[in-house]
């Protein structure tokens, strides 16, 4: 079956702009988590959506937001981009709540690489 | 919240030798510990995981050990091959989310 699909794969923006990234989870998966990956900070949790509701949130400013649609597809948005937002943004899906005890494997997409100039 | 420390940050081994990567975690309530492998241009891929009611798990050349008392877990790769070259991440479950270590860049030298 198809894996987690993220679009776009690469994009370049300038400071102050905003960006929207898209994630299509594995069919049947209802949970979508987003992570930011940078060389210095590793994989940092952004937020998790389950059944269209944000269930968990990491320590990121309000400029980072997301949503999930009824078909489980998810988008994340970053407004007023800063140079430090340059990163690989990874989406992961799981059948139920992701990452918790007794829970399901997180399956990651290939990521969207954002460069802010 | 949960904090995961991973060592070493880089590791270089000769093909055929073994590689060991170690992680420690802070939250004693964590009970799920996966390991992910990330190749260039790809997202992390789960290679093995262990739950807290198990001390060791093996899958062919890969094994993971867990010491809940000491709050550390390790990844062991035996008979390393060139295709094992990648970045490896450990993670621990905490508060309904996975917290990742900083990653280990493993290089297998022919």
pLDDT in tens, B43-53: 999 999 998 87
CA dist., res. B60 & res. A23, Å (int): 33
The residue of chain B with its CA nearest to that of A97 is: B96
Average pLDDT over residues B10-32: 95
Which chain A residues are Cβ-neighbours of B43 within 8 angstroms? Answer: 4, 90, 92, 108-111
Nearest chain A Cα distance for residue B83, angstroms: 18
State the pLDDT at residue A12: 98
The residue of chain B with its CA nearest to that of A98 is: B97
Spatial contact of B39 and B19, defined as CB atoms under 8 Å apart? no
B54 contact A CB<8A = no
Taking CA atoms, A55 is separated from A32, A67, A107, in Å, by: 10, 11, 18
pLDDT in tens, A55-99: 889 999 999 999 999 999 999 999 999 999 999 999 999 887 544
Percent of chain A with pLDDT over 90: 76
Residue appearing with tokens 């994989």: A43
Nearest chain A Cα distance for residue B101, angstroms: 7
B36 contact A CB<8A = yes
């Amino acid at each position: 079956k198809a894996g987690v699909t993220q679009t776009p794969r690469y994009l370049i923006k300038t400071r102050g702009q905003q960006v929207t990234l898209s994630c299509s989870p594995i069919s049947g998966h209802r949970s979508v988590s987003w992570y930011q990956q940078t060389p210095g900070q590793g994989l940092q949790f952004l937020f998790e959506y389950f059944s269209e509701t944000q269930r968990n949130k990491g320590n990121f400013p309000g400029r980072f937001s997301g949503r999930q649609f009824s078909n489980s597809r998810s988008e994340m948005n970053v407004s007023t981009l800063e140079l430090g937002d340059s990163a690989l943004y990874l989406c992961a899906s799981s059948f139920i709540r992701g990452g918790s005890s007794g829970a399901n494997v997180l399956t990651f997409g290939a990521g969207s690489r954002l460069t802010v100039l | 919240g949960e904090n995961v420390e991973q060592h070493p940050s880089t590791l270089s081994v000769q093909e055929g030798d073994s590689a060991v990567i170690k992680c420690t975690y802070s939250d004693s309530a964590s009970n799920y510990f996966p390991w992910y492998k990330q190749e260039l241009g790809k997202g992390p891929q789960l290679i093995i995981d262990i739950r807290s009611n198990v001390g060791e798990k093996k899958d062919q050349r890969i094994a993971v050990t867990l010491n809940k008392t000491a709050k550390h877990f390790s990844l062991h790769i035996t008979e390393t091959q060139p295709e094992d070259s990648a970045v490896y991440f450990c993670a621990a479950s905490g508060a309904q989310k996975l917290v990742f270590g900083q990653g280990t860049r493993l290089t297998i030298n022919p």
